Structure 1
Amino acid sequence: MPKQRTAKNSYKKIYASCAGLGIACLALFVYTFFLHHNPASAQEYPIKGFDVSHHQGEIEWRKISPKTFQFIYLKATEGGDFKDRKFQDNWIQAREQGFLVGAYHFYRLCRDGRIQAQNFIETVPNKADALPPVIDLEYDSNCINTYTKEQLLKEIQVMHDQLYQHYGKQPIFYISKSFYNIILAGQFTKTPLWVREYQSKPDLKNNPAWLFWQHTNQGKIKGISKEVDLNVFYGSQYEWAHFLEQNGIDRSKYFQNLRSK
């Protein structure tokens, strides 16, 4: 009898362990497939776009319609000397397909702003119908402690001002939530923000207005074999047209695309 009782107790412990493990596995499943992977909903925003770099490989631009995506940003440069090897091809082909195209620079926190601005200016053509230049600002583990916060803000200002002067358009800051809250909150209040936030709508310190929202990095687009960052513009179709007009871009082409839908 004692052995039988011991066996029953052992079975109970095993069943309890399995039940506990099952609950843990279920919780992990729910987080992984319903919370972590599901992109935040951006359906209410009619103006949609995406951004790509060499990581997406060869893109079949003819399979993508400007009627579906109203804007595209291409990675052009990084730091003081890196140039994206697919930028020139993507720039030419996307524009030939009638897309509104802009370029972005990944800012290296350990390089000075003047050198990085020069790299971008040498790479990206100054076209009147191009979208405003974008500076991608996020934490870089390779050189996070090179500058103090004050020095870093000064170097970012240098690049911002040089791009503004060269292209004649107000640059945009692409930002992660952590970088904005720690470094940029309360600074550059006139610079539009492009926010990366995958779990919910943008929610930044002091609640600044945002211009673009990157709501997922797992987008699927016919003509691109790899996952893509998807973005939306904060505003209506007519507010988008006004934004284009402010940046010296002929909006008649955009409305022509709307009428042909």
Structure 2
Amino acid sequence: MRSFVCLALAAVLLAGCGGRSAVVSRAAPVTYPAFADAEPHDNVGQLPSYYPVHGVDVSRYQGDVNWRQARAGGISFAYMKATEGGDLADPMFHTYRAGAAAAGVRHGAYHFYYFCRTPQEQAAWFIANVPRDPAALPPVLDMEWNHQSRSCNRKPSGAQVRAEATVFLDILERHYGKRPLVYTTPDFYWDTALGQLPRTQFWLRSVAAHPSERYPGEGWAFWQYTGTGIVPGIARPVDINAFAGSHAQWKAWIE
């Protein structure tokens, strides 16, 4: 399986980083700025504070964001929802994008996949709404089961999901010159065997445990460790994510 970088939290986690990750060991624990959580999980605890680079992902539901305050509070990057399916665009995307850029927060865009549109349609819709920006983070394809959808209750096979994801990722890579990451959840990952996707870096949701427990053997670039985070400058609870490596590895990854 693909992997990126796993930061060693403690000896017990070394075996759980998985894949072909480069392990960065520490002689003693070093903690980094931590954020409050409206609904913390005991199994996560202080684990995110062992990672030095943190960011948020936002959509219109977060409302107004003071990006300078968020950056001063420890936010290094932000992913913003840009599009969904083949005809929905987040009305706050361009506002967030401009605000983050002005505050010096590295930013990128994500697309929420809809199983009743072709990957070609959805890739074209994303490209129509997200400008090319050499400074932007790689695009993200968000794939998860959407049990609340009233317009599309399809649940394709794992083989079809992987085939459609590959088409979408290839189109965006050709257009933006960067291979998109894939965001997913534990149930979707295992239901569809998403780990079989080639050349893929993952952004993994795991709010009740470290990713090594929910996705054993899989590497990751980003870990979404809470959906109820409290971040300066963002009035409503927000998803917070940790990058898998050191400050130096983050710098190399974004260049």
Q: Given the alignment, which residue of 131, 146, 156 partners 1:147?
A: 156
Structure 1 segment 62-81 matched on structure 2, within 5 A: 62-65=68-71, 68-81=74-87
**What are the within-5 Å matches in structure 2 for residues 160-179 of structure 1?**
160-179=169-188
Cα distance change of structure 1 residues 36 and 107 upon mapping to structure 2, 3 Å threshold? farther
Task: Answer with 1 or 2: which has the greater Rg.
Answer: 1
Contact 1:66–1:99 (Cα < 8 Å) also in 2:
no
Matched, 1:104 2:114: no
8 A Cα contact 1:173 1:192, kept in partner: yes
1:40: Cα distance to partner?
Answer: 6.5
The answer on whether the counterparts of 1:40 and 1:200 sit within 8 Å (CA) in structure 2 is no
Q: Report Cα offsets for 1:225-258 as digits up to 9, x if no partner.
A: 100100000011111112112xxxxxxxxxxxxx
- Structure 2 equivalent of residue 187 of structure 1: 196
Deviations 1:191-221 (A, max 9, x none): 0000001111113455111110000011112
Q: How far is the alpha carbon of 1:184 from its aligned partner?
A: 3.2
Structure 2 residue aligned with 1:221: 231
Q: Which has the higher helix share?
A: 1
2:247 matched to 1:237?
yes
What code does the residue aligned with 2:231 have?
Answer: I
Structure 1 length as normaliser, TM-score? 0.76
Distance change (3 Å), C-alpha of 1:66 and 1:86: same
Partner amino acid, structure 2, of 1:116: Q
Q: Is residue 105–residue 134 contact of structure 1 (8 Å, CA) maintained in 2?
A: yes
Greater displacement, 140-149 / 80-89: 140-149
2:158 equivalent to 1:128 = no
2:55 matches 1:49? yes
How many angstroms apart in 2 are the aligned matches of 1:35 and 1:243?
29
Contact 1:134–1:172, Cα closer than 8 Å, also in 2: yes
Unmatched runs of 5 consecutive residues or more in structure 1: 1-32, 246-261
User: Per-residue CA shift, 1:11-65, capped at 9, x if unaligned?
Assistant: xxxxxxxxxxxxxxxxxxxxxx774797663111001111111000111223222
Give yes or no for contact 1:39–1:215 (8 Å, CA) kept in 2: no
Structure 2: tracts of 5 or more residues without a match: 1-38
Q: CA RMSD in A?
A: 2.2
Please state how far the C-alpha of 1:169 moved relative to its aligned partner: 0.4
Other-structure match for 2:30 = none
CA distance in structure 2 between the aligned counterparts of 1:236 and 1:193, rounded to whole angstroms:
17
- Deviation of 1:136 after TM superposition, in Å, equals 0.5
Runs of 4+ in 1 over 4 A off after TM superposition: 33-40
TM-score normalised by structure 2 residue count? 0.78
Give the structure with the larger strand fraction.
2
Counterpart amino acid of residue 181 in structure 1: W
1:66–1:98 CA contact under 8 A, matched in 2: no
The secondary structure found in structure 2 opposite 1:111 is: coil
Q: Check whether the contact 1:47–1:236 (CA below 8 A) recurs between aligned residues.
A: yes
Is the 1:51–1:73 Cα contact (8 Å) retained in structure 2? yes
